[in-house]
Structure 1
Amino acid sequence: MKTVKRKFIIGEENIRLNKINNFQVTRYFNPNHFNLEDKLNLHFDYSEWLGAEYIRILAIYFDTSKSMEAYEGIEFTEEYKLPFPEEGITKTNALSISLKLKEDSKLLWKIAIQIRQDYNTLIHLTVS
């Protein structure tokens, strides 16, 4: 059996979206890496290259009350679309989104970031 290496979201990183990664990245979330109360804030404050229509954020939650043996769905998603500014993302028109860490028995465990249309893009992400 081969181990799976997961990339976890960190406090600050440059995210490159290009043809190699199909214009999307996925980061896992570990609440022990942060000192947060009930929300995870994602701030996009810089970008290189223009042309994307929007940034799609997909928050994936794991439901701890469900059972795999009963064939119940254990993953739930919330989708957000942030319009990409024509002039690109700068400090003056930064984009932000808040994701719930927990809702009932559902825990945030994965975040997917995508752009559409397919343009090579570098986005700076800060987490708080």
Structure 2
Amino acid sequence: MKAVKRNFLVVEESIRLNEINNFQISRYFNPSDFNLEDKLNLHFDYSEGIGAKYIRILAVYIDTSKSLEPYEGIEYTEEFKLPFPVGGITKKNELSVSLKLKEDSKLLWKIGIQIRHEINTLIHLTIS
């Protein structure tokens, strides 16, 4: 069996979205890496690349109350579409989204970030 390399969310990161990664990335979330109460705030405060329509954020939650029975869903998703500013993202018009860390027995464990329309883009992300 081969070990899987997972990229975890960090406090500050520059994310390059291009043809190589199909204009999307995913980051796993480890709550012990952060000092958070009940929400994870993603702030996009800088970008290079103009012409994208929106940034798609996909929050993936895993239901800890369910066992791995056949055909039983244990993942739940929540989708956000943040409209991309015409001139790109700057400190004045930063984009942000708040994700719940926990809802009932569902825990946040993965975040997907995707750009649409496919334009080579560099986005700066900070976490609070």
Secondary structure at the residue paired with 1:99?
strand
Instruction: Mark the runs of 5 or more structure 2 residues left unpaired by the alignment.
Output: none
Q: Which residue is 1:13 aligned to?
A: 13
Q: Which residue is 2:105 aligned to?
A: 105
What number of residue pairs does the alignment pair up? 128
Letter in 2 for 1:90: T
Q: Deviations over 1:31-78 (max 9, x none)?
A: 000000000000000000101000000000000011112531000000
CA distance in 1, matches of 2:14, 2:69: 39
Secondary structure at the residue paired with 1:32?
helix
Taking only the aligned residue pairs, the percentage that are identical comes to: 77
**After TM superposition, where is structure 1 displaced by more than 6 Å over at least 4 residues in a row?**
none
Letter in 1 for 2:64: T
Normalised TM-score (structure 2)? 0.99
Normalised TM-score (structure 1)? 0.99
Q: Which residue is 2:95 aligned to?
A: 95
Q: Which residue is 1:118 aligned to?
A: 118
CA distance in 2, matches of 1:116, 1:75: 24
* Stretch deviating more after TM superposition (44-53 or 70-79): 70-79
CA distance in 2, matches of 1:7, 1:15: 12
CA distance in 2, matches of 1:114, 1:87: 18
Q: Which residue is 1:55 aligned to?
A: 55
CA distance in 1, matches of 2:68, 2:91: 44
Secondary structure at the residue paired with 2:32?
helix
RMSD between aligned alpha carbons?
A: 0.6
Q: Deviations over 1:2-22 (max 9, x none)?
A: 000000000000000000000
CA distance in 2, matches of 1:49, 1:20: 16
Alignment of 1:16-95 (within 5 A): 16-95=16-95
CA distance in 1, matches of 2:45, 2:93: 8
Letter in 1 for 2:13: E
- How big is the shift at 1:79? 0.2
